[in-house]
Structure 1
Amino acid sequence: MNLRLAILALTDKYQLSAQHHAELKRLAGLEDAPPALSAHLQTGISLLGAALGGLGVLFWIAANWQALSGLGRFALLEIVLAGSLLGAWRRPALRVPLSLLGFLACGGLFAHFGQTYQTGADPWQLFALWAALTLPLCLSVRHAVLWTAWAVVALTAPLLWSGAADTRSVFHGSTGSWLPALALAFALRHAPGAGNWPVRLCIIYAAAGMVFFGVLSLFGEGGAIIYPLTLAALAASAYAYSRRALFDVFVISALGLGINVLLVAGVARVLIEAEIIGMLLIGCIAAALLAGTVKYIMHLTRLHHAGVGA
């Protein structure tokens, strides 16, 4: 149980006064600043500075495109890329922000190359190459921020690929959105230093894609196949992340919300076909599904936390 909730429960159980409640909070250290606040602030500011610096260089080059020669633009991007990676190698304390700066500079270099020489390569190929060439950087730095940025680039490549396809089928849309996102989420579970946030990003992206294509097929064509497939994929993912080895309340909440949306959409479709005016009924069903989902997630959270504490 959360420490604040435990103190509130004790206060309510023993009818403690406000003074005793405040003393409990003081003894628990809840009134003190987090012990790692200063370090987290420094890390966050340095990462923000690196991201703004990298984007600033790219925007400055774009704004002065005509004033700079092609060689000058290439030289500036290569200097930023080489300098940031060299600094990340020589200065361990600044390794993560400088690596992020180098990551952005690498993407800018590919974009500039494609814009200058018009190689005929599709945008998705540049993003795929960007992800492939920066993968060793992520494996060596081993930090969640870099893995999160890499996941964004890696997921953009199949999305652009599906958009460039001649056909606009649900299959191409799925292979460009939620299918690679699910695969990447499970792969990032084993990536060194990735942490939780890259996985959470992939799951949110995958859940949004499954809900989009499920609802689209339900009220369009192919609903007899695509809708149950996306619902089954969401349910299977939720089951996998409800197990103790993979459990993450953030992930299971996103998947639970997606399942709720698809189920409510299915109920709405049935009521529409039956010519039943059931907005109140749909609202009641949605509220009941959401309440049941929240209760189940809270049960899983208490169960897994109790298992860890034991």
Structure 2
Amino acid sequence: MASTRREVVALIDQGAIPPEQVARAIQVSGLHPSPRAWAVFIDLLLLWLGGLALAFAVLFFIAYNWAEMGRWLRFGVVQAAMVLAVAIAIWPKTRPMVSRVALTSATLLVGVLLALFGQVYQTGADPWQLFFSWALLSLPWVWVARFELLWVLWLGLMNLAIGLYFHTWGGPFGVLTSSDAALWGLFLLNTLALAAWEWGARYRGWPRQWAVRLLAVGGGVPITLLMMTLIVDTGLVGSPVLAIYPFWLAALYGVYRYGWPELFMIAGGCVSLITVTTLLLARVLLWEGDWQEGSLMLISIAVLAMGAGAVVWLKRLHRELAQ
């Protein structure tokens, strides 16, 4: 669908399709969903909403009736719901999408079971241990399902576990602060996951769609924040991020300009570079220099110029990629 949309847009931009025939071309290309496509979408939407609602209903049922239920009844309700979800997933006559919904519900119920265990027995475990155990125990189901939503959910649990771990214990050997260590951990995890996903999409037929974009954001935001923290705290003095950030930008452009053309990724790199450059200008003009009203005007002009330049360049790049 995305490829068809790009081709139609390119033909319209080149004038190959007359303006009076644009509506007809869109209809023939199938960009507008048919009544059957809407019916399939609504069916899938209700299926997912129903599966997720049943999983969360178990949590809310136990929470509401906490005082009236014994510990064994609480565990029994959660485990019975989990066994039922797994049974539906492995039943031979189950449709693939229903099986994925069931495994997603079972994965959520693992978290409910761990939270219930910690609440009943008051283990005193750190929060990061809950999310790490959740990810570890649900990994076999995620691997069997081979479903991008479950993989993203699993990576989200790992991101939470890493962030909470460094927030609790700080950086390794005291070299990094807790916030820097957490950002480095998130950057490495999501960047490696993005590289693995792109490899799987190229050689194993994994779906790319929205998952790779989400992983790219998960890796781009931490490295941008690390660069911004360096500018604010030390003013670009001795840090590995000084070498890694330009390399990341160059790799992002090289891969998604020539390897797997993806305008979203390049646009994200532009946003990151504009943000870092703007903060660097603010430090030079406002913190290290004499503060003047004209400095704010200069920064505003620089932001407008960089934004306009990025938009013009991205539009030109879009036309090149659409050809």
Moved more, 39-48 or 95-104: 39-48
- Give the letter for the 1:185 counterpart: L
Structure 2 counterpart of 1:211: 224
Structure 2 counterpart of 1:286: 303
The structure 2 residue matched to 1:105, chosen from 74, 91, 109, is 109
Structure 2 counterpart of 1:136: 140
- Give the letter for the 1:264 counterpart: T
Query: 3-state DSSP class of the match of 1:199?
Result: helix
Deviation per residue, 1:95-139 (Å, 9 max, x gap): 111111111001111121222223343221221122122222222
For 1:5 and 1:302, how far apart are their aligned partners in 2? Answer: 7
Shift of 1:92: 2.8
Q: Percent identity?
A: 25
The structure 2 residue matched to 1:127, chosen from 118, 125, 131, is 131
- Give the letter for the 1:65 counterpart: W
Structure 1: segments with no counterpart, 5+ residues:
none
The structure 2 residue matched to 1:262, chosen from 270, 276, 279, is 276
For 1:26 and 1:196, how far apart are their aligned partners in 2? Answer: 23
- Give the letter for the 2:279 counterpart: A
Structure 1 counterpart of 2:64: 63
Residues 1:248 and 2:248 aligned together:
no
Moved more, 133-142 or 262-271: 133-142
Instruction: Say if 2:270 and 2:310, in contact at 8 Å, map to a contact too.
Output: yes
For 1:234 and 1:189, how far apart are their aligned partners in 2? Answer: 16
Instruction: Say if 2:159 and 2:186, in contact at 8 Å, map to a contact too.
Output: yes
Shift of 1:9: 5.0
Structure 2 counterpart of 1:274: 289
Moved more, 201-210 or 95-104: 201-210
Moved more, 225-234 or 129-138: 225-234
- Using a 3 Å threshold, how does the CA distance of structure 1 residues 240 and 196 change in structure 2: closer, same or farther? farther
Query: 3-state DSSP class of the match of 1:59?
Result: helix
The structure 1 residue matched to 2:210, chosen from 192, 197, 201, is 197
Moved more, 166-175 or 275-284: 166-175
For 1:213 and 1:247, how far apart are their aligned partners in 2? Answer: 27
Structure 2 counterpart of 1:80: 81
With normalisation by structure 1, the TM-score equals: 0.83
- The CA RMSD over aligned residues, in Å, is 2.9
For 1:187 and 1:32, how far apart are their aligned partners in 2? Answer: 33
- Using a 3 Å threshold, how does the CA distance of structure 1 residues 225 and 97 change in structure 2: closer, same or farther? same
The structure 1 residue matched to 2:8, chosen from 3, 10, 27, is 3
- Give the letter for the 2:128 counterpart: W
Deviation per residue, 1:260-293 (Å, 9 max, x gap): 1111111111111222532222122112222333
> How many aligned positions are there?
302
- Give the letter for the 1:101 counterpart: S
Structure 2 counterpart of 1:42: 43
Instruction: Say if 1:203 and 1:251, in contact at 8 Å, map to a contact too.
Output: yes
